[in-house]
Structure 1
Amino acid sequence: MDFNSMGKVSVITPSYNSANFILEAIESVQSQTYTNWEMVIVDDCSNDHSVELIEAKQSEDKRIKLIKLTRNRGPAYARNQAILAAGGKYLAFLDSDDCWLPQKLEKQISFMHKNDFSFSYTAYRIMLEAGKLTEIVFHVPRQITYKDLLKNTAIGTLTVVLNQEKLGRVQMPLYRDCSEDYGLWMSILSQGVTAYGLNEELSLYRKCNESLSSNKWKSARKTWNTYRKVGHSNLPSTMWYFLNYSVRAMRKHTRTS
């Protein structure tokens, strides 16, 4: 397979005090069978030794790029800075505490290339904070439209790949009280784009005790605000979509608790 002709993948990784996990994330990218990638890591003013670990990896592998922010701006801003610095045809998202399986990029880019898709996502497995794999795998539907997305929690950020040659340069919304990744998917799909699912387990989502998704009330509030501020939904529509979203989210969190 000619990876060069298929296009470079820019891996977008925000990092904040990620010393416990960042090496695993980087090494999971380095282990990819698809080798035409760059990893753009934006450190959001960490006060642990994350930067030293990243710089050590960077000195060994020039495909790793590090941008250091001078003050803490939050994950959406960090991701946006990485996107602005990205030189690849594709954008792939990987947070500093998550990991990919070795064939993730090869299978997903082939899936997109073969079918001329601009937005794809995959199934993923939950792992515990210490790295132990669970039996929980989130399978995904074949496709998601904008209306589907408003009622659905199926798209895991660590699984998303976007073709920015087709979509144009994207940016996450910078509302601190919104779900920035969900807001980006909402903005893209609202333009008539359809996201396509590859129902193969290709990523590992780390369920940390202090992660945003573990704080269900905060996550729910951010989702509500995303409907209102990014989707510009009126109150009745927001209530309907939020009810559907909440039922699916409750089922999802029940599986992972």
Structure 2
Amino acid sequence: MQTPSTPPLVSVITPLYNAESFINETIQSVLNQTYTNWEMLIVDDCSTDNGPDIVKEYQEKEDRVYYVRLKDNSGAAIARNVAIQLAKGKYIAFLDSDDLWLPAKLEKQVAFMEDGQKAFSFTGYGIMKENGEIKGKVVEAPEVVNYEYLLKNTIIGCLTVMLNVELLGKVQMEPIRTRQDFLLWLSILKQGVTAHGLNETLAMYRRVNDSISSQKLQVAKRNWEIYRKFEKLPFLKSCYVFMNYAWNGLKKV
């Protein structure tokens, strides 16, 4: 049982799909954390490569790593939702199967969250190529982000987000194939919650050439759909925030 002096448990939410080239590094980046009270929930979306075998090897020797396989290929949103439902932590943190955390990420972010009992935080992150080569580009975290800000600037990297389950509940993502994370952040901020930025580079985002997120036109179309279909913004406001989104996106390239 957790005592007042016990650091809060962090549940790491990781969807897995055909990531055998990267999942080893991703798990190692969690094992290398200076903060040790975590569980890693890896939900396999019907991978057809050797990624699941790699995860199972870790599970056999590390009791903080859990592996679950979905019956059908359903997308990252469903995989994350299953992991969130299984999570036992006060905090949930997101880490995709090709991204990395720096060793002090959880330690610094938990302390940041505990200071004032924040509901939602995110950090800065770096960008690397598919082969792991660091690009030198850093996405900084503004001090605060609200709903209107996020509409115009998708600055929050999923791999950096930490949510307080005690304050927000077990949130769920819309079962769409892309931008489900962006839509979730909007739904939380729309309730009046503020996202607090910890402006340190504590994670590394891997740009995989054939990933869905690398298909910029498709992502842009999904953003427009989110503005119009999900957020139900008027046409002119949708145009305004979309132009801002596009400009800010160019600055992150």
Verify same fold: TM over 0.5.
yes
8 Å CA contact 2:59–2:65 kept in 1: the answer is yes
> What SS does the aligned partner of 2:200 have?
strand
- What is the percentage of aligned positions where both structures have the same residue? 49
SS in structure 1 opposite 2:152?
A: coil
Aligned pair 1:89/2:93, yes or no? no
- Distance in 2, Cα, partners of 1:251 & 1:112: 28
Deviations 1:210-237 (A, max 9, x none): 1223211001011111112321212222
* Aligned match of 1:62: 63
TM-score, normalization: structure 1? 0.94
Deviation at 1:4, TM superposition (A): 6.2
Q: Distance in 2 between matches of 1:229 and 1:30?
A: 40
Whole-angstrom distance in 2 between the partners of 1:120 and 1:4: 22
Check the 8 A contact 1:4/1:36 in 2, yes or no: no
Counterpart in the other structure of 1:221 = 221
Superposed CA deviations along residues 56-101 of structure 1, whole A, max 9, x for unmatched, are 0000101111110121001111111111111111010000000000
1:215 maps to a residue whose letter is Q
Q: Residue 4 and residue 217 in structure 1: after superposition, are their counterparts in 2 closer, same or farther (change >3 A)?
A: farther
Residue 3 of structure 1, CA deviation = 9.6
Give the SS at the match of 2:11. strand
Distance 1:237 1:66 in 2: 43
RMSD value, Cα: 1.4
State whether structure 2 residue 192 is matched by structure 1 residue 192.
yes
Aligned residue in 2 for 1:172: 173
Unaligned stretches of 5+ residues in structure 2: none
CA contact (8 A) 1:3 1:34 kept: no
Q: Give distance in 1, aligned partners of 2:4 and 2:73.
A: 36
Query: TM-score, normalised on structure 2?
Result: 0.96
Q: Is the 8 A contact 1:8 1:37 kept in 2?
A: yes
- Checking the alignment, whether the CA contact within 8 Å between 1:144 and 1:194 is kept in structure 2 is yes
Distance 2:16 2:57 in 1: 15
Number of aligned residue pairs: give it.
251
Residues 62-211 of structure 1: matches in 2 within 5 Å?
62-176=63-177, 179-211=179-211
Query: d(CA) in 1 for partners of 2:228 and 2:66?
Result: 35
In structure 1, runs of 5+ residues without a counterpart are none
- Whichever residue aligns with residue 194 of structure 1, its letter is T
Conservation of the 8 A alpha-carbon contact between 2:126 and 2:137: yes
> 1:135 Cα deviation (Å)?
1.1
CA distance in 2, matches of 1:60, 1:52: 13
